[in-house]
Structure 1
Amino acid sequence: IFTVSEQLTQKFYDANPHAFTVTNGVDLKHFSTQQLEPDDMKQLPHPRVCYVGVIQQRVDFQMVHEAAVLSPDVSFIFIGPIWHDADIGTVKNLKNVYFLGAKKYNQLPGYIQHSDIGLLPHHLNDLVQSMNPLKLYEYLASGKPIISTPVPGTEQFSSDFITIVRNGRALAGAIRSVMSRQQLLKPQQLQDSVLSYSWESKVHSMLQKVFAAYR
């Protein structure tokens, strides 16, 4: 049995000791190949903080609201379909929060690459604790630093690349801090941090476990 998180692996382990954690991976070439700036981003001012993914109740919009009010010069950009359970009411009328809708997979790198920071503002509920967010790897493969709540997977990377926050005030402060040292963080450093997370390496790891089980 393969799962993407330790929490899920532990749920299966007692029944089957051949349960293993293999975290999500990333298409390195897809997200590192430079794309043109999307037309619907061109008028949005920098700094740009971008979330890419399904917009649902796991996103902490109370945190986003507090940070957006404290940071009126920052553009908070959300890319993805909005589910009915998403609590966007507090932010949808803020002038610096933008919902650009769902995009095709081949368009996503352009939105991330032309942002300044990747955002992971997830609630820390049971669902999130069992996840291993794809966005984590996609942001880094695009050469972008991340600000995130302490979701599983963030502990794998340097605090130079991922800043952990727990509330809106901390998020606003982290944005200022990351932007102030932006010149010190080279995109190549961030991309190099996920070289071992390619989908090819994940398949190789899984096959090793399968072959070992039959020896």
Structure 2
Amino acid sequence: MSNLEQDRSAPRRDRDRDRDRDVDPPRALADYDLVCLSHLRWDFVYQRPQHLLSRCARARRVFFVEEPVRGDSVPRLECSRRDCGVTVVVPHLPGDLDDDETEMLLRCLVDDLLADQRLTHYVLWYYTPMALGFTGHLAPLATVYDCMDELSAFWGAPRALCERERDLLRTADLVFTGGRSLYEAKRALRPGAHLFPSSIDVPHFRRARARQSEPPDQAALGRPRLGYFGVIDERIDLDLLAAAADLRPDFTFVMVGPVAKIDPAALPCRPNIHYLGQKPYAELPAYIAGWDVALMPFARNESTRFISPTKTPEYLASGRPVVATSIRDVVDPYGREGLVAIADTPADFVAAALRALQPSRRAEWLQQVDAFLARGSWDRTWAQMESLIGAAVRANRAAGSPRIDPCSTT
């Protein structure tokens, strides 16, 4: 804490000079900046936040504030700008703090961020309601809650999460939801919520339809190959994966992605199951190009009740037939429209994969896929969100909403 106080006591003219040299005034870039509070790491997996906020950063400054890293003796912020224009902000805190001390220090660090970057006209964008504990004193131009998961259903969810989410649903100017099931659940608490399901970066994943060099760690694996990319956590039905591998030892199952929140020792170990680890977003099409079928072997439990997997349209854009378990937001619309095969038992899952390997309807199926994917894109989704945010900012300004000068908070 003393370091933060010492930093604030530095000569004002020196700090102003540094800011003038390093940071463009926010008004020169856009009418507002955006500060995102997230429970996710920017560099973990490339998904909804990255798609949306990288587009937001084309027109304004965007600061992506991650959950703190524990262990540093001196509280500090580590800021790094990504090629897409987003500045990733990582708080570093001592490891021996209780919840109240953590939120007090995070509040100070966020205040410093706003002051140092001259963030006086900004929108707050939440992915985690828990951030209300250290940002509730701020007065942004508008507040957005982009609800992409039912976080309370995840393992290890904080006890205060549900109460804080209710507060955020009640007070946010805008609530966006990432899938229809989630939308229907949140609409009961926030009737004005907006549904923005997962979109698709079609040109990126369409590259998987072309012939290309195989990644070295996949090239020698046998065929047919059935692949999955994404986080491997409590949402994956490991028993289904193991049983399917046992039923078809001639199939090769490729699992691409990081293991999170589960013991790696719990992963089924079979000669025909291969865990290749996390891969950069840019390399995913090269891996998918070497698969014969794409898989979504999700468990049917509380943690998957409201998910709307972004990988569904990404698999389809890649031109790979898809077999998935009966996740509600996959069954409707993808299963209903005949774009994805739905199966829950190991025998049915394997049978669906066998049918997917048959090329009889491939050309017709690809036409259906491309027609479906043409309905939306991340560019279109962000344009609609940006329009709503602009309207909320204008409405709040017209109403004369009071503001707090971040430089004056303590």
- Please give the range of the TM-score, normalised by the shorter of the 2 chains: 0.7 to 0.9
Contact residue 199 and residue 310 of structure 2 kept, 8 A: yes
AA in 2 matched with 1:20: H
For residues 248 and 189 of structure 2, what CA distance do their matches in structure 1 show? 49
Q: For structure 1, which segment, 125-134 or 64-73, has the greater mean C-alpha deviation from structure 2 after superposition?
A: 125-134
Give the secondary-structure state (helix, strand or coil) at the position aligned to 1:44: coil
Structure 1 residues 107-136: Cα deviation after superposition (integer angstroms, max 9, x where no partner):
011111210111001112222121110110
1:42 is aligned to 2:216: no
User: Which residue of the partner structure matches residue 230 of structure 2?
Assistant: 53
Q: Which of 121, 139, 148 is matched with 2:324 structurally? A: 148
Distance 1:43 1:191, change over 3 A: farther
User: Which residue of the partner structure matches residue 130 of structure 1?
Assistant: 306
1:106 is aligned to 2:285: no
Task: Give the number of aligned pairs.
Answer: 213
Contact residue 326 and residue 344 of structure 2 kept, 8 A: yes
Contact residue 61 and residue 88 of structure 1 kept, 8 A: no
Residue 20 of structure 1: CA displacement? 1.5
Give the secondary-structure state (helix, strand or coil) at the position aligned to 1:197: coil
Contact residue 140 and residue 193 of structure 1 kept, 8 A: no
For residues 267 and 304 of structure 2, what CA distance do their matches in structure 1 show? 22
Structure 1 residues 32-88: Cα deviation after superposition (integer angstroms, max 9, x where no partner):
124432111111111111010011111001111111111111110000011241576
Q: Which of 198, 205, 209 is matched with 1:31 structurally? A: 205
1:174 is aligned to 2:352: yes
* Aligned-pair identity (%): 28
User: Which residue of the partner structure matches residue 114 of structure 2?
Assistant: none
User: Which residue of the partner structure matches residue 201 of structure 1?
Assistant: 380
Q: For structure 1, which segment, 118-127 or 80-89, has the greater mean C-alpha deviation from structure 2 after superposition?
A: 80-89
For residues 252 and 237 of structure 2, what CA distance do their matches in structure 1 show? 17
| Structure whose alpha-carbon radius of gyration is higher | 2
The two structures have a TM-score, normalised by structure 2, of 0.48
User: Which residue of the partner structure matches residue 291 of structure 2?
Assistant: 115
Residue 195 of structure 1: CA displacement? 2.2
| CA RMSD in angstroms, aligned pairs only | 2.4
Give the secondary-structure state (helix, strand or coil) at the position aligned to 1:196: coil
Distance 1:18 1:133, change over 3 A: same
Contact residue 202 and residue 317 of structure 2 kept, 8 A: yes
User: Which residue of the partner structure matches residue 164 of structure 1?
Assistant: 342
User: Which residue of the partner structure matches residue 182 of structure 2?
Assistant: 8
Residue 170 of structure 1: CA displacement? 0.9
Q: Which of 59, 64, 75 is matched with 2:252 structurally? A: 75
For residues 76 and 127 of structure 1, what CA distance do their matches in structure 2 show? 23
User: Which residue of the partner structure matches residue 22 of structure 1?
Assistant: 196
Contact residue 57 and residue 87 of structure 1 kept, 8 A: no
The two structures have a TM-score, normalised by structure 1, of 0.88
Kindly indicate whether structure 1 or structure 2 has the higher relative contact order, using CA contacts under 8 Å at least 6 residues apart.
1
Where do 5+ consecutive residues of structure 1 fail to align? Answer: none
Structure 1 residues 93-112: Cα deviation after superposition (integer angstroms, max 9, x where no partner):
x1111101110110011111
